[in-house]
Structure 1
Amino acid sequence: MFVFMKTILVIEDNDEIRENTAELLMLHRYRVLTAANGKAGFVLAKSSTPDLILCDMMMPETDGLYFIKQAKSDASLQHTPIVFFSAGTASLVVQKKLITEGNAFLQKPFLEEDLLSTVEQTLAAGQAKTT
């Protein structure tokens, strides 16, 4: 029997990055949900209540700033850890705001070890707050 550890929502507009990140996480027994933008990600997060959200900072239509405002104002998501990742295309002001409001940050491109380490540390920190 295959048992998933935790559910992670990946919000990323780039299909290749989204699919590769999801695949890496699934190989490490995470249940993975994906969305192509912050608006779709917010709807999916509300219906699935993931244990952690990985969110790109810069996306067309909606971005990480939109997503975190929505998530932090929603009772069912306000305590869900959010890890932002970016290639550094957002302004420094936006990057600093998102890094401050989120739980962690990954610089793209990131290594598999960095992704897994950040996910595990963020999940562990979230569990420590709830126990």
Structure 2
Amino acid sequence: MQGKKVLLVDDDPDMVFIARELLRSVGLEVFTAPNGEQALAAIKQDLPDLVISDLMLPGMDGGQFCKRVKQDPAFAAIPFLMLTAADTDEAVPLARESGANAFLSKPFTHKMFLSKVNELLSGGGKR
């Protein structure tokens, strides 16, 4: 995983801090955005190896952001991990419909998070 780039999209500063530190601890380069609009701009400037996004975001939500990424041929192959604290009965279908490669429900353990990140960066979870 060393040296790979991850775009982390979440409007919760505490979640961003924790996830960023976890990702950096395994040698990943992390850049962040607080919403879907800024994330789309960021992805165009610096192509990530993985996108991690919360489902519930202000403005363009994570599902809409994921659909935009997956519909663009320049970005469609980037693995996408969707996170949410929302009710999983509704969130999992939304994540799947948006094109996300994987889904994690908050709260999750550090081990679960890093395992899913490693799986996606290693080519697992391809649609």
Please indicate, yes or no, whether the TM-score normalized by the shorter chain is above 0.5.
yes
Q: 1:16 aligns with which of 14, 17, 22?
A: 14
Structure with the greater alpha carbon radius of gyration: 1
- Supply the AA of the counterpart residue of 1:99: R
Q: Does 1:120 align with 2:113?
A: no
| 3-state SS in 2 of match to 1:10 | strand
- Same amino acid, percent of matched pairs: 31
Structure 1 partner of 2:95: 98
Structure 1 partner of 2:53: 55
Q: Which deviations, in whole Å up to 9, do the C-alpha atoms of 1:67-119 show, x marking residues without a partner? A: 01211222221110000000025871x54031352111111111110111000
CA RMSD in angstroms, aligned pairs only: 2.2
Which aligned pairs between 1:33-72 and structure 2 lie closer than 5 A? 33-72=31-70
Provide the C-alpha distance between the structure 2 equivalents of 1:116 and 1:90, rounded to a whole number of angstroms.
Answer: 20
Structure 1 partner of 2:82: 84
TM-score normalised by length of structure 2: 0.88
8 Å CA contact retained: 2:92, 2:103: no
Please identify runs of 4+ aligned residues in structure 1 that moved more than 4 A.
none
8 Å CA contact retained: 1:57, 1:90: no
Instruction: From the superposition, tell whether residues 91 and 38 of structure 1 become closer, same or farther in structure 2 (CA, over 3 Å).
Output: farther
8 Å CA contact retained: 1:58, 1:90: no
* Aligned pairs, number: 125
Alpha-carbon distance, 1:4 to partner? 4.0
Structure 1 partner of 2:25: 27
